[in-house]
Amino acid sequence: MGSTINADIRLMGRDKVDLRDWNSTYCYFKDSKPDSVVHTAARVGGLGANLNYMGEFFYDNMLINLNVIEAARRINVNKVLSFMSTCIFPDDVDYPITEDMLHNGEPHYSNYGYAYAKRMLDVQSRAYNQQYGVQAKDNSVVFGTKYTSVIPTNIYGPNDNFELENSHVVPALIHKCYVAKRDKTPLVIWGSGKPLREFVYSEDVGRITQYLLEHYDSPDPLIISTGQEHSIEELVIAVADAMDFKGPIIYDYNKPDGQYKKTTSNERLMAVLPPDFKFTPLKEGIKQTVNWFSENYETCRK
């Protein structure tokens, strides 16, 4: 799946605009005049952050999403691809999870503030397409707003947020392992290590995003998943091996595990992507991410 986009790509970071503020968001969009928008902005965090800041996660993410989508519409952006998360799916669900199950029940109690706010990206995109886009018989948008969303599993890779307290499982674990190796202390893991998760390498997500911007106009969301599950224990071993960590690994059973599994189906995605698309294997992606973090420890987000 080769690269065909030849475009001026602008990264909108929090240092440039506060997306929770409508005036700042609209002015930035009006000045930059994007043709397409990949909306990945969010207030995110791991299990502890979601439990401790439930209300803030809901409020901030609602503001961000409402402002970004509305600002894009007002300046006539044709294509918006918004990122949700697999944690938005119902807690009580049959596996594997498919896109059609998105609104079929309550999300897990541990992150329902964040989850409900992110679900609204699908609702807002569909509502805008219905009012501001012209749809064909197959429900694709012919012209006007072509707003849709993707639902990636756990994204990881270089340039991630590696904060120990407020980052996702892979970057937090990499940082913890680095510190444990440096300080010659045990590597302590929250929970039992038994929960199952799906991980997707950031560069794979980038290639998929580019392809969907060019070739996907349906309002129906797509799950971005490798189709493979790994236990947290498998992830810990992969990180420890990549970091060459030889110390003890301790599982703290007094800490919560979170949702046990979130098994997804990537059938719809694979039907859209070219048949030769391949995902980066977990061990390879973890090794590349660990190497990047170790080389950029002094300057990366941590």
Question: What is the residue-wise DSSP string for 255-273?
Answer: S----S---B--HHHHHHS
114 is catalytic: yes
The whole-angstrom separation of Cα 201 and Cα 159 is: 12
- Residue position matching structure tokens 């039992």: 192
**Residues near 99 by beta carbon (within 8 Å), at least 6 away in sequence:** 151, 220, 221, 222, 223, 268
Per DSSP, which regions of the chain are E strands? Answer: 36-39, 79-83, 133-135, 141-144, 146-152, 154-156, 187-190, 196-197, 199-201, 222-224, 230-231, 249-252
Catalytic residue among 28, 112, 114, 201: 114
DSSP H helix total and E strand total for the chain: 9, 12
What are the residue numbers of the active site?
114
